[in-house]
Amino acid sequence: MMRRIAVALAVSFVILIMAVTSQAQTGNGMSILNLASGKAMDAYGNSNGSNVLIWDYWGGTNQRWNVASLGDGLYSIRSLQSGNRSLDCWNFGTANGTNIALYTYYGNACQKFYLTKTVASSYRITPSHATAQCVDAYGTSSGSNVGTWSYWGGTNQQWCFGVSNSSITLNPGEDIQAALDTYQTVNLRAGTWTLSEPLYINAGNTLNGAGMSSTILRGPNSTYTYSLIRGSYIGSMFNITIKNLKLDGWLGGEHGINIGGTTNLRVENVWCLNMKGMGVSCGQGVNAYYNNVVCENCGRVDMWHNWYNRNVYGGSINNSVCKNSPNGVGMKLSVGNDWTLNGCTFSGNVWDGLCTQDKNYRVSILNCSAYNNGSKGMYVYANDGSLIQYCTAYNNGSNGIYVNSNDTGDTSWIRNCTAYGNVGNQIETHGYWAWDGIY
């Protein structure tokens, strides 16, 4: 049965700009992630009629799409795997429940879509022949079908377009946000950028400066209220790298880096200072890696700290410094598993140098030092085989090292540590903790 009117149409493929512009542009090899679940739009086959659903993102060509501008605000969305097969509202359907599948692109109205920005980095995808409908994920688990439904603004009806494999280098003053929305890697030359609004970093982005004292991103004054770098949406983001730059809050703003829900976050050679909020504030993630990150003079209001991670599972913090928080803790880790801190320093903070609180499991703190903090040097609640080893705590306003556990499990250990000159107990243990080799 003939269901297509063949229309020859040549299109060009460039990059989709997402977050801060009201008009979407175009791109090759884009991921399209559902805002409700973070799962990717997935072509379950490579022939006419192959179904489209959502699935955990793994980067296959069946999960990447070529998005092309057709003019008049319309776009085609074609599978990278199959080349000329596009998203298609089956049989020109206009009712709730119309299926979305692949079909050879002929330029019909059921293969053209409006992309309308909803929230930062998210878009409603509207069939051109049924503008009261939208592309909708019918669930949040892998295998949930994709079809159309009347638009009501749910997160299952909003989609985030990932960036492509490409890079650009910017001079001071050039538009970082437009570059992040267009390119996978954005390199910043030495110089200073003053940010009049947050930078929204997207899944797959790398933001790379010329050095932590050379490339400076700063707030405009002491009264602004936003974070300097934010995740482009709250949900399952992935593969974000921020490195080789300085974030200067100018004593205002919220946080320096404020990213949640990310798998594989890397922050390296970054100096966060003078933030009213936290230098680093990250949560709800998996596999975070930090190296040579300095948080200084951040946490300038009560209950904010130099650095705060919550509900992050798996990762390491290496050779990093938290110092001189005027109202908070140097570093606070809350509710997380399988963390390693190695070679870190916590000093001059008004409260604890390091605080791990709530239920943390299998935390290793190695070769770290805490000194001249207003309260405890290290205040560690951790469980199930946690370890503090080769650490030093001195000249703190309360205990040098204080440990406790709030759950059963394998015994945790303090080993080969040194504590002296602290106002309270040099080392104090409670719960399922033991110690040896203490000096």
Could you report the per-residue pLDDT of 405-424, keeping only the tens digit for each? Answer: 877 778 899 999 999 999 99
Overall average pLDDT of the 364-376 stretch = 98
> Higher-confidence residue: 256 or 381?
256
Task: Report the candidate in 15, 12, 56, 17 with the shortest Cα–Cα distance to residue 34.
Answer: 56
Strands, E assignment, 297-417: 307-318, 321-323, 331-334, 337-342, 345-347, 354-357, 361-366, 369-371, 378-381, 387-389, 392-394, 401-404, 412-415
Backbone angles phi, psi at 176, to 5 degrees: -70, -40
pLDDT of residue 233 exceeding 80, the answer is: no
pLDDT of residue 27 exceeding 80, the answer is: no
Task: Report the candidate in 289, 416, 401 with the shortest Cα–Cα distance to residue 356.
Answer: 401
Residues 279 and 131 in one domain: no
Residues 186 and 307 in one domain: yes
If pLDDT is split at 50, 70 and 90, which confidence band does 5 have?
very low
pLDDT at position 292, please? 98
Helix (H) or strand (E) holding 127: strand 123-127
CATH of the domain at 68: 2.80.10.50
pLDDT for 37-57, tens place per residue? Answer: 878 999 999 999 999 999 988
Q: Of 294, 324, 354, which residue constitutes the final position of a domain? A: 324
Does 370 fall in a domain? Answer: yes
Residues 174 and 316 in one domain: yes
Cβ atoms of 412 and 390 closer than 8 Å: no
Residues 125 and 219 in one domain: no
Residues 312 and 178 in one domain: yes
Does 175 fall in a domain? Answer: yes
pLDDT for 85-123, tens place per residue? Answer: 999 999 999 999 999 999 999 999 999 999 998 865 678
* CA 428 remoteness from chain centre: 36
> Higher-confidence residue: 108 or 432?
108
Overall average pLDDT of the 130-146 stretch = 97
Range of the domain at 383: 329-439
Overall average pLDDT of the 13-36 stretch = 56
Query: Average pLDDT over the chain, rounded to whole?
Result: 88
Number of domains in the chain: 3
Residues 157 and 168 in one domain: no
Q: How many CA atoms lie within 13 A of 104 on its CB side?
A: 8
Strands, E assignment, 19-111: 27-34, 40-44, 51-55, 64-71, 74-79, 85-89, 100-104
Max mean pLDDT among 12-16, 406-410, 425-429 falls in 425-429
If pLDDT is split at 50, 70 and 90, which confidence band does 234 have?
low
CA distance 217 to 199: 10
Q: What is the largest CA-CA distance in the chain?
A: 86
pLDDT at position 163, please? 64
Cβ atoms of 26 and 18 closer than 8 Å: no
Q: Of 295, 324, 353, which residue constitutes the final position of a domain? A: 324
Q: Of 308, 324, 340, which residue constitutes the final position of a domain? A: 324
Residues 313 and 388 in one domain: no
Kindly state the tokens that stand for 315: 């990762």
CA distance 308 to 377: 16
Residues of the chain with pLDDT > 90, as a percent, come to: 68
Does 127 fall in a domain? Answer: yes
Kindly state the tokens that stand for 236: 């399952």
If pLDDT is split at 50, 70 and 90, which confidence band does 261 have?
confident
pLDDT at position 75, please? 95
Residues 422 and 347 in one domain: yes
If pLDDT is split at 50, 70 and 90, which confidence band does 148 have?
very high
CA distance 400 to 326: 20
Residues 177 and 313 in one domain: yes
Does 237 fall in a domain? Answer: yes
Residues 147 and 183 in one domain: no
Cβ atoms of 324 and 297 closer than 8 Å: yes
Does 20 fall in a domain? Answer: no
Task: Report the candidate in 178, 201, 305, 311 with the shortest Cα–Cα distance to residue 254.
Answer: 305
Task: Report the candidate in 290, 361, 362 with the shortest Cα–Cα distance to residue 331.
Answer: 290
Task: Report the candidate in 50, 39, 120, 35 with the shortest Cα–Cα distance to residue 85.
Answer: 50
Overall average pLDDT of the 358-365 stretch = 88
pLDDT of residue 3 exceeding 60, the answer is: no
Read off the amino acid at residue 392. Answer: T
Does 11 fall in a domain? Answer: no
Does 439 fall in a domain? Answer: yes
pLDDT of residue 377 exceeding 80, the answer is: yes
Residues 153 and 298 in one domain: no
Does 355 fall in a domain? Answer: yes
Cβ atoms of 233 and 210 closer than 8 Å: no
Residues 172 and 261 in one domain: yes
Helix (H) or strand (E) holding 282: strand 280-296
Task: Report the candidate in 109, 120, 149 with the shortest Cα–Cα distance to residue 132.
Answer: 149
